[in-house]
Chains A and B, each alone.
Chain A
Amino acid sequence: MKFLDYAPAPESKALLGLKSDYGLFINGAFTAGRGTPFRTINPATEQQIAMIATANETDVDDAVSAARHAYDGVWSRLSGSDRGKYLFRIARLVQERARELAVAETLDNGKPIKETRDVDIPLVAAWFFYYAGWADKLDHAGVGPNPASLGVAAQVIPWNFPLMMLAWKIAPALAAGNTVVLKPAETTSLTALLFAEILQQADLPAGVVNIITGDGSTGATLVNHPGVNKVAFTGSTSVGRAIARSIAGTDKKLSLELGGKGANIVFDDAPIDQAVEGIVRGIFFNQGHVCCAGSRLLVQESIHDDVIDRLKRRMQTLRLGDPLDKNTDIGAINSAEQLARIRELSDLGEQEGAERWSADCEIPPNGFWFSPTIFTNVSTSHRIARDEIFGPVLSVLTFRTPAEAVAKANNTPYGLSAGIWSDKGSRILAVADKLRAGVVWANTFNQFDPSSPFGGYKESGYGREGGRHGLAAYLKPAVRSGSRSIAAANQQTPSVSKKSASAGKKSASAEKAAK
């Protein structure tokens, strides 16, 4: 036998007790949606997992009303420490049910169990644990004393890290005192609905979190609902742009975490084996379905051939297949639609003259799959060097000097992530300074932590998730002083600093009155 053909090591599905149909979670209870239900399938087998309800406009209305009611009646009146206790409870329940959630996520999303088990679900728990502790410390969130919550938050999340994105959204929103209506992505609703069961176990007051399912139109209805005070969206730049347009002129506060085309820069003095690992982690983690993926490899010309040779060898050890197998590195592409896009852009890369190389993987007969692929001889004008592919496809470009690396890295409308690989500390700091990206990983890649703010520059969106900055996205300063009249200015010119200091001390009641 060949040892490297590891025998199957599938994670058991026995601990999963799924229902055949899932309704909407509104006001603390599951309810049938008024829209047409849809199938959620396992992208690795194309088999149906369950039927999911669709929320129509009336359902969205119900959910927003429930959230408003819970905000006015319960959540905004609760002490910060009590809000925190609920979040701690949720964190613990997620830990207790971690394996079940990991299996469900892998089934529904297609990502490998080792990622859901070791990354997604642990981060979900960590996110709730982190923000739980913030709930009674909002004065220190960086928006001044006595900050106010915003009200009802409409949150729309993507399919690439379903439950993790839910945690990134819900945890800070609740800690800050808001209530939530969340819509998971159409293809990955399952764990959000299991999470709703966790909320029931945590005895979270009804309506504080509402989860509605459906397609993009449900999401559009939600973010455009007039009863919403905050919109948080993670997803494509095109949808983010549409949301920014649609809420123009309203006073909804907006956070957008959108696409990216991250540059992973490898200098000739890089710790080379770790850099190769970082390249792999940067683009093949989660099948490349990562907004902050290091999808553009910028490698110094002098080491290009060596790096590519090492990378190809490494890629041959990637194991593509059953996402539930504990040894699987590359799982299924989330949907037929996404697979078609990856194929289209990859084919285009070839047509444009880039050189394509894919790891030799056996593709399972059913489901959606794409072999880890790299393109060399890519130039900056190629579509595969500019468009977000959102799949396991790496475009390799070269540079000669640090200045050229920085210029090429920044030459994109996106600005979410970047990587730097070098053993020279001063260069790392200087390059990190010059990169126009919200997250820069030096000698590492794709690391996430609830205490670490995450978000983009330019067309990768605005607002931060994680850390106290992520909390501030769900808060507003206590209302500032009212009018500043010329008459006041006439009275022996008060210094501006005093004025602004007094502004912060206005009571929260003035704030409420102003609403």
Chain B
Amino acid sequence: MNRLAIPKTYKLYIGGKFPRSESGRVYEVLSHTGDFLANAAKGSRKDARDAVVAARSALGGWAGATAYNRGQVLYRIAELLEGRRNQFIAEIVNCEGVNAAVASAQVDEAIDRWVWYAGWADKYVQVAGNANPVSGPFFNISVPEPTGVVAIIAPQGTESLLGLVSAIAPALVAGNTVVVVANERAPLSAISLGEVLATSDVPGGVVNIVTGSPAEIAPWLASHADVNALDLVGAGNLDWVELQISAADTLKRVLPPEAGADAATPALNRILAFTELKTVWHTKAIL
């Protein structure tokens, strides 16, 4: 005799909390065969706005945390994700229509990606920074720092969890906070990842996940003056040129859309894309 299952209500993840969309809207998430899976919150521009506020207010703490601490927090995500592998595999199988082995490989890779990026937290500054031998009595050092609030359109392709992780992890390494618009068709693992983040040591507001229509939300993020950078990695099917034009108004740092399964391939450059190099001079003399 079958026990009646208890379906999960999939909500947004903003400021460490799980609100419904302020608009009250939801949309149906279907399996690849068209069966109803869940009602996901259909985020609005105001949800995006709230997410930006949450991200901005979390920035100081996250950017100000020690690199060692950020590395451990990111590693902790991998630990928790490992513990909830089965849930993610099930969601991926349902949503993406792949078999369990494929789904499992995706989850493994997502976990490994957290580990890889976690290790960068206290190294990227060493690799990308520089002591500069200026010709004068000055101490001079260049150090990369987080850009600020990064809005991300998550990859909209087949690997919903891996795509999401590949996009947000590098932005987090340096200490940026993130507003991410999830994979529209397969948003369930994004919200479940939010649950992982909420129970890990990631401070509320550091990652904010909005589900819904990227086409609807992205323009608001691209034009939002308090967003410092825009990762259009998953915006290939949107009018992304218009988004870039809009982002130019406040001179946001923009990463272009990437197509295909290799979108957001792990790379140091993805970390550095959302950093600013600061050069500090100081006079140097014993007199």
Contacts and interface: CB of A to CB of B under 8 A. Distances in A.
Q: Do A and B interact directly, with beta carbons closer than 8 Å?
A: yes
Contact of A496 (B112, B127, B283): B112
A158 interface: no
A464 B277 contact: yes
Interface residues of B, number: 53
Nearest to A419: B281
Contact of B267 (A432, A449, A500): A500
Interface stretch (A87-95, A162-170, A382-390, A481-489): A481-489
Contacts of A495: 112, 116
Interface string A426-467: 001000100111111111100101011111011101101001
A443 B269 contact: no
Nearest to B256: A251
A270 B32 CA distance: 67
B281 A248 contact: no
A142 B269 CA distance: 10
Interface stretch (A39-47, A238-246, A281-289, A352-360): A238-246
Contacts of B112: 493, 495-496
Contact of B251 (A439, A458, A490, A503): A458
B130 interface: yes
Contacts of B278: 432, 435, 437-440, 457
B265 A413 contact: no
Contacts of B283: 442-444
A114 B124 CA distance: 41
B116 A497 contact: yes
B265 A462 contact: no
A53 interface: no
B177 interface: no
Interface string B271-287: 00000111111110000
Interface in A135-180: 142-143
Interface stretch (B34-42, B180-188, B192-200, B241-249): B241-249
A469 B131 CA distance: 12
B276 A453 contact: no
Contacts of B266: 496-497, 499-500
A124 interface: no
A477 interface: yes
A503 B265 contact: yes
B34 to A, nearest CB: 22
Contact of A248 (B109, B113, B248, B260): B248
A480 interface: yes
Contacts of B249: 241, 245
Given A438-B279, A442-B280, A447-B138, A489 B109 contact: yes
A365 interface: no
Contact of B248 (A245, A444, A453, A493): A245
Contacts of A442: 280-283
A489 B250 contact: no
A352 to B, nearest CB: 24
Interface string A161-201: 00000000000000000000000000000000000000000
B109 A451 contact: no
A258 interface: yes
B109 A493 contact: yes
Contacts of B101: 490
Given A454-B279, A481-B265, A496 B132 contact: no
Contacts of B241: 248-249
Contacts of A241: 248-249, 251
A143 B249 CA distance: 28
A500 B265 contact: yes
Contacts of A484: 261-262, 265
Contact of A413 (B138, B250, B279): B250
In the complex, which of the residues B98, B105, B241, B251 has the most CB atoms of chain A within 10 Å of its own CB atom?
A: B251
B281 A438 contact: no
A102 to B, nearest CB: 19
A495 B109 CA distance: 8
A249 B142 contact: no
A461 B138 contact: no
Contacts of A458: 228, 250-251
A83 interface: no
